[in-house]
Amino acid sequence: MGRILLAAALGLAGPLAAQTSFTIYSDGRVLVRRTAAVAIPSGTSSHRLAIGLLEPGSLFGLDSGVAVVGASYDAAVDEGNTMRRAVGRELRFLVPRGSTADTVSAAVIGVNPERFRLSDGRIVFQRPGIPLYPAELVLLEPTLSLTVRSGAAKPSLRLGYFTQGASWQASYSAVLGRTVAQVSSQASIPSVTLREAQAEVQLLAGSVGRAGGMPGPPSPMAFRAQAAEMAQGPAEEQGVGEAHLYTIPGRVTLEPGVTASVALFDPASAPWERAYVVRGQLNYYGPLQQVGTEPNQVPVEVWYTLKRTPLTPFGELPLPGGTWRLYQADAGGRLQLIGESSAGHTAPGTDIRLSAGSAFDLTATRVQLTYSTRRDSLRTVATADYRVTITSAKDSAVTVEVLEERGGEWSVLQSSVPAEMQISEMRYGDRSHHTTLTR
């Protein structure tokens, strides 16, 4: 059985990674596909790789003819664990003496607590000086020892595993023209601990189940932004399972504290519409409440819809969930931010509807005018009368939707303007959920 040492502190003979490929998930998981520049003989062999942080249980071979039959992962790079590795060995300790220093030898016989046997046989519980560790005891980075079995000799070892330390987020900009918006996108990839030069990077969008394992990435540090190095155009999209995968062209360098970014798609155009909405104040479930007769000011929400017509370039794009920023030019042609919102994953052909805050020149008040209840043979029926007053300071007419949202069985008895009822139904197994909208 051959044994090849590749850890940096253990005689690294050549570059570990000839090629590295990442798939980055938005929740902080990173699927790594790495090629280690180590020759694999036919049969069973053992290898030691300085491979960085990983989830040991996720390790798998990428070549069909190579099987990982055993592995040991040591991520303890601190001094306490270095002393643990020294148990049973003799260490030299530096002892300062004024302007000079001597060295003494002592055997490490245990840790927790640390115990040392001096040259005269006595045992002490304190270090006799500053330990001088041999290089073979010190891990410069987490180290993987593994045994593989291969049916034929191979020039390299290809491994896959999960790690952490990076994530990604989608962001979008929509510049609103008179009737058409110009839409662009960016995928931002902040690295917290992940460091890799010239890696192939893919971004996976979708809700992928997680069964535990490694914790999420550490708290992010202050990031500086840079364009994705060597990226040569927008990401290429494809469906994988029930998710969507975006491959960044070229190679990307990831460094802790640096955010790389790349376009998700070429700039596109989309018709847009604006709507003003006043929402009711009813409880979605439970009895209809009596709330008093004092007027209550309610916001007039502003919503923008980007139309995504099927079979158009923008309409056919699957859009990962992210942050949307809406811009519009002022009288001098300068772009101003007029709204910022978020949207979840959006399937092709589905419009993007974005909240942009409240209208400045539109105000609304709502008051409950009457409230009564009566009992029929099966239940109590409550009836309430509301008045919504909308005031506009605009110089042109606008349409405002008044929405009353409530689950269960209810109806509008009368309205001063025509009321349109919409019923949406979502089924969960054998249960039905109804939402009624009135405007």
* pTM > 0.85: no
Q: What pLDDT does residue 278 have?
A: 93
Q: What pLDDT does residue 232 have?
A: 57
218: Cβ contacts below 8 Å, ≥ 6 apart:
165, 192, 193
Q: What pLDDT does residue 432 have?
A: 36
Q: What pLDDT does residue 1 have?
A: 37
Burial class (CB in 10 A: 0-12, 13-18, 19+), 178: exposed
Q: What pLDDT does residue 198 have?
A: 87
CA distance linking residue 134 with residue 41, whole number of Å = 30
Q: What pLDDT does residue 72 have?
A: 87
CB 75 within 8 A of CB 85: no
Q: What pLDDT does residue 81 have?
A: 87
Please state whether beta strands 400-407 and 431-438 pair in parallel, antiparallel, or not at all (unpaired).
Answer: antiparallel
- In our burial notation (b when 16+ CB lie closer than 10 A, e otherwise), range 363-387 reads bbebebeebeeeeeeeeeeeebebe
CA distance linking residue 80 with residue 87, whole number of Å = 11
Mean pLDDT in each 10-residue stretch from start to end of the chain (439 residues)? Answer: 34 48 90 90 91 86 89 85 92 90 93 94 94 88 88 91 92 96 94 88 84 49 48 80 90 90 92 94 82 87 95 91 96 95 93 95 93 86 90 94 85 85 53 37
